[in-house]
Amino acid sequence: MNAIKQAIPDVLVFEPRVFGDARGFFFESFNRKVFEEATGIRRDFVQDNHSRSSKGVLRGLHYQIQQAQGKLVRVSEGAVFDVAVDIRKASPTFGQWVGTILSAENKRQMWVPEGFAHGFLVISEYAEFLYKTTDYYAPKYERCISWDDASIGIDWPLAGATPVMSEKDLKGRSLLEAEVFP
C-alpha cells in the first residue's frame, strides 16, 4: 500500500496494491502496521459507517468538537470528491483544504485526522461511502462548517449545479464563527 502525502501533510491518501485477473480482484483495505508506519501514529478504530448517496449530494463539512473523530474513508461503489479542512487554530495550515477523488475504481482511501472538518460530493450516479472512525458518534458535539465558506474556498466540482444537502448541513457556520480546535 502506497501512502501519498497531501498539501496538508497530516492528511494522507492510501493507494492499495490491487491483485486482479479474469475472476475479479483482491486488495487489503486496511492494514494496521502499514497505517501506523505511514502516519507515525497509532489509532484504534471503534466504529465503521456506511452511507449511500445520489449524484449531487454534498455531505459536510462535519466534525465533533469533543470526542474528535479521525476518519479513514473510502468508496465501494461510484465516486466522490472528498475534502478535509484543517480547523486546528494553532496549525500553520489552519483554514486550508485538500480534496481528492475517491472511487470504487481507484480504490483509494483518505485519512482525515482529528482536528479536521470533512465532507464529500457525489460525482457519480450514486456512491457507497465507508469510513472507520477513531471515536464514537456523539451528536451533542457534532458541528458543521458551511460547504461554501468563501474564507476556505473549496473548489467543488459542481459545474454550476446546486448540491443536494440536508437541513442540518445547510445551516453550517462560517469558519470564523465556528467552534474550532485550539
Write down the pLDDT at residue 58: 98
Where in the sequence numbering do the catalytic residues fall? 62, 131
Give mean pLDDT in consecutive 10-residue pieces for the chain, a chain of 182 residues: 90 90 87 85 92 98 98 98 98 98 97 98 98 97 98 96 97 98 97
Helix (H) or strand (E) holding 37: helix 32-39
Write down the pLDDT at residue 173: 97
Write down the pLDDT at residue 35: 83
Q: Is the pTM of this model over 0.85?
A: yes
Write down the pLDDT at residue 172: 97
Distances (CA, A) of 89 to 25, 32, 79, 92, 119: 43, 29, 31, 8, 19
Write down the pLDDT at residue 39: 82
Distance from C-alpha of 99 to C-alpha of 81, rounded to nearest angstrom: 7
DSSP 39: H
Q: CATH class for domain 45-170? A: mainly beta
Cell of residue 69, nine digits: 473523530
Distance from C-alpha of 100 to C-alpha of 110, rounded to nearest angstrom: 8
